[in-house]
Amino acid sequence: MPQKSPKINLEGLLKLKKAERPDPAFWDQFQKEFRQRQLQTVMVRESFWSRLPQLILARSRLLVPLSGLALVLFVFLLNYRGNPPSQGDFVETVALAQPTPEIKMEPSVREPALPPQPRREAVFIPALSSAPASFVVDVIPAKLPETATYTQEFPTPTIRSNSDSPATYVSYTISRDTPIYVSAALSQRIGF
Amino acid sequence: MAPARTIGRTLISSPEVQAERDGDLLLVRRVQSGDVAAFDHLVLKYRERMFSVIYNLTSNKEDTYDLSQETFIKAFQSIGRFKARSSFFTWLYRIAVNTTLTHLKKNRFRSFLSFETLHEEACPTDVLEALSSKSSTEKPALLKELQYKLNEALQTLSVKHRTVIVLFEIDDLSHQEIAEIMNCSVGTVRSRLHYAKKQLQAKLQDWLD
């Protein structure tokens, strides 16, 4: 073929590509298909916006009560966050709701009789938190080595004692078991 | 050939070209304001040029059909974002070229040639003159062979070099326009064009002067 082939320049040869084109009938099909695809695109785009009010109306049976509920919840939360219950109120409420139990202590070894003393109370200073906690009091008699332990539900404003000895209460421990207080377990020592 | 091309390419900023751009922009504004039918005018105006550029890049008429449809659909879908920083024509070309390049990249191991009809009456005169010495029975066969060799040679070029040569030599775009479409400098376009021509000349040396 090289011997027989005619000689042309590159630009001229490339112009041959312009002669490669579809028949006129092709464009009718092209345009028809394009219109269909364009219409599909338009329908997809319009359907969402045109159907939006219908979608809202169709779900109004659910939307109205749900919106009302959401509004009530919102107002409640707003009010609650604006005025949270104070610590004092809480302690007072608990104190009223739960009468302070009497703490009875019976030492295993009878102490020698002492002259009667005025009744004393260990006054518990309300905790700074309303978190649940266990309250353990270690009662160590002043004169005898034995100890007695009891657990009191927390919070409680007052610990009463039947003991006549003023130095009976020597220590108590409050340990909170909520996550926020685990690392801040409190140990205190009180005396009279 | 060269002087005619030069004149054609210097007309880019001429009043006629400016009027054409304004006309396009007017149609674009109409589409943007919701007149879907206005886009049909733009499709009618540019469909052959878009088809041509895609076909010359792929050398596959079935792929060209799909990619041309995709190009116009993409343009229609994103016409709302067209800010007229470039002409609509350049913007549309960029969509066509990018869509085709993505397709070619995706199918680089699955390419085959499928040619469009070669209209003899539309063939360049110098090619016809060169073939005029041949008998009427030989001429169509030679044209067919020439078409095959040319498409085959184009497909051996890298996608970037092929794009530059197609846009410059076949679609008659200026260096500046090609640079805008391909998002590169004019210097890069010139260099790619030079290299692509050299490659083609080597591939088609049996047919060239």
pLDDT digits (tens, 9 = 90+) for B140-186: 888 888 889 999 999 999 999 999 999 999 999 999 999 999 999 99
Q: If you average pLDDT over each of A60-64, A93-97, A131-135, A144-148, which comes out highest?
A: A60-64
Q: pLDDT digits over A118-168, tens only?
A: 555 555 555 444 555 555 555 555 554 445 555 556 556 555 555 555 444
Task: Establish if A12 touches chain B: CB-CB under 8 angstroms.
Answer: yes
Has residue A184 got a pLDDT over 50? no
Provide, as residue numbers in chain A, all residues whose Cβ is less than 8 Å from the Cβ of B131.
6
Mean pLDDT, range A72-86, rounded to an integer: 77
Residue B158 has φ and ψ, to the nearest 5°, of: -70, 160
Q: What percent of chain A has pLDDT over 90?
A: 8
- Residue B48's H or E segment, with its range, is helix B38-58
For testing contact with chain B, the best of A4, A14, A28, A49 (most B CBs within 10 A): A14
Q: Which of B43, B116, B127 is opposite residue A21, by nearest beta carbon?
A: B116
Tokens coding B49: 């040029």
Has residue B78 got a pLDDT over 50? yes
Task: Establish if B148 touches chain A: CB-CB under 8 angstroms.
Answer: no
Q: Quick check: helix, strand or coil at residue B119?
A: coil
At B116, is the pLDDT very low, low, confident or very high (cuts 50, 70, 90)? Answer: confident
Q: Is A147 within 8 Å of A113 (Cβ atoms)?
A: no
Task: Look at residue A150 in the predicted model and tell me its pLDDT.
Answer: 55
Provide, as residue numbers in chain B, all residues whose Cβ is less than 8 Å from the Cβ of A20.
55, 115-119, 147
At A183, is the pLDDT very low, low, confident or very high (cuts 50, 70, 90)? Answer: very low
Provide, as residue numbers in chain A, all residues whose Cβ is less than 8 Å from the Cβ of B200.
10, 14
Question: A77 and A122: one domain?
Answer: no
* Closest C-alpha among A33, A44, A25, A42 to residue B68: A33
Task: Look at residue B130 in the predicted model and tell me its pLDDT.
Answer: 76
Q: Do B147 and A16 touch (CB under 8 A)?
A: yes
Task: Establish if B65 touches chain A: CB-CB under 8 angstroms.
Answer: yes
Q: If you average pLDDT over each of A51-60, A120-129, B46-55, B119-128, which comes out highest?
A: B46-55
Question: A76 and A122: one domain?
Answer: no
Instruction: Give CA–CA dist B165/B192, Å, rounded.
Output: 8
Say how many C-beta atoms besides its own lie within 10 A of residue B191's C-beta.
14
**Domains along chain B?**
1-115 (1.10.1740.10)
Residue A106 inside a domain? The answer is: no
Q: Which of B36, B117, B150 is opposite residue A16, by nearest beta carbon?
A: B150
Placement of tokens 């692509």 in the chain = B196
Task: Establish if A27 touches chain B: CB-CB under 8 angstroms.
Answer: yes
Placement of tokens 């409050």 in the chain = A174
For testing contact with chain B, the best of A15, A29, A36 (most B CBs within 10 A): A15
Question: A131 and A72: one domain?
Answer: no
Placement of tokens 């509920």 in the chain = A69
| Structural domains of chain A, count | 2
Task: Establish if A42 touches chain B: CB-CB under 8 angstroms.
Answer: yes
Provide, as residue numbers in chain B, all residues whose Cβ is less than 8 Å from the Cβ of A37.
69, 73
Mean pLDDT, range A15-39, rounded to an integer: 90
Question: A122 and A77: one domain?
Answer: no
Residue A88 inside a domain? The answer is: no
Domain interval for residue A184: 117-189
Residue A5 inside a domain? The answer is: no
Residue A89 inside a domain? The answer is: no
Provide, as residue numbers in chain A, all residues whose Cβ is less than 8 Å from the Cβ of B169.
11, 14-15
Dihedral angle computed from the Cα positions of residues B144, B146, B152 and B153, in that order, rounded to the nearest 10 degrees: -170
Tokens coding A84: 């949270």
Mean pLDDT, range A52-71, rounded to an integer: 78
Residue A151 has φ and ψ, to the nearest 5°, of: -115, 135
Length of chain A: 192
Residue A52 inside a domain? The answer is: yes
Task: Look at residue A34 in the predicted model and tell me its pLDDT.
Answer: 93
Residue A31 inside a domain? The answer is: yes
Provide, as residue numbers in chain A, all residues whose Cβ is less than 8 Å from the Cβ of B39.
38
Question: A121 and A185: one domain?
Answer: yes
Question: A125 and A180: one domain?
Answer: yes
Question: A122 and A69: one domain?
Answer: no
| Type of residue numbered A47 | S
At B74, is the pLDDT very low, low, confident or very high (cuts 50, 70, 90)? Answer: very high
Question: A184 and A130: one domain?
Answer: yes
Dihedral angle computed from the Cα positions of residues B76, B79, B85 and B91, in that order, rounded to the nearest 10 degrees: -10
Mean pLDDT, range B8-35, rounded to an integer: 80
Task: Look at residue A130 in the predicted model and tell me its pLDDT.
Answer: 53
Task: Establish if A83 touches chain B: CB-CB under 8 angstroms.
Answer: no
Task: Look at residue A186 in the predicted model and tell me its pLDDT.
Answer: 40
Q: Which of A59, A81, A103 is the last residue of a domain?
A: A81
* Closest C-alpha among B156, B123, B157 to residue B142: B123
Provide, as residue numbers in chain A, all residues whose Cβ is less than 8 Å from the Cβ of B201.
10
Within a 13 Å sphere around the CA of B177, how many CA atoms are in the beta-carbon half?
22
Pure H helices in A59-184 = 60-82, 87-97
Q: Which carries the bigger pLDDT value, residue A33 or residue A130?
A: A33
Placement of tokens 């309250």 in the chain = A135
Mean pLDDT, range A48-57, rounded to an integer: 70
Q: Which of B76, B119, B206 is opposite residue A41, by nearest beta carbon?
A: B76
Residue partners of B75: CB distance under 8 A and separation at least 6: B42, B91, B92, B95
Say how many C-beta atoms besides its own lie within 10 A of residue A44's C-beta.
10
Q: What is the mean pLDDT of chain A?
A: 64
Residue partners of A187: CB distance under 8 A and separation at least 6: A173, A174
Q: Do B51 and A37 touch (CB under 8 A)?
A: no
Residue A69 inside a domain? The answer is: yes
CA separation, residue A157 to residues A140, A160, B108, B161 (Å)? 21, 10, 83, 90
Q: What percent of chain B has pLDDT over 90?
A: 62
DSSP structure string for B100-117: HHHHHHHTTTS---BPPP
* Closest C-alpha among B89, B206, B18, B209 to residue A11: B209
Q: Which carries the bigger pLDDT value, residue B117 or residue A104?
A: B117
Q: Which of B68, B76, B115 is opposite residue A38, by nearest beta carbon?
A: B76
Task: Establish if A9 touches chain B: CB-CB under 8 angstroms.
Answer: yes
Mean pLDDT, range B24-43, rounded to an integer: 92
Task: Look at residue A158 in the predicted model and tell me its pLDDT.
Answer: 57
Task: Establish if B72 touches chain A: CB-CB under 8 angstroms.
Answer: yes
Residue partners of A183: CB distance under 8 A and separation at least 6: none
Question: A132 and A181: one domain?
Answer: yes
**Burial group, residue B201, by CB count within 10 angstroms (0-12, 13-18, 19+):** middle
Tokens coding B175: 């260096």
**Which chain B residue has its CA at the smallest distance from A33's CA?**
B69
Provide, as residue numbers in chain B, all residues whose Cβ is less than 8 Å from the Cβ of A19.
118-120, 122-124
Q: Do A6 and B134 touch (CB under 8 A)?
A: yes
Has residue A170 got a pLDDT over 80? no
Residue A101 inside a domain? The answer is: no
Q: pLDDT digits over B117-138, tens only?
A: 888 777 877 777 777 776 667 7
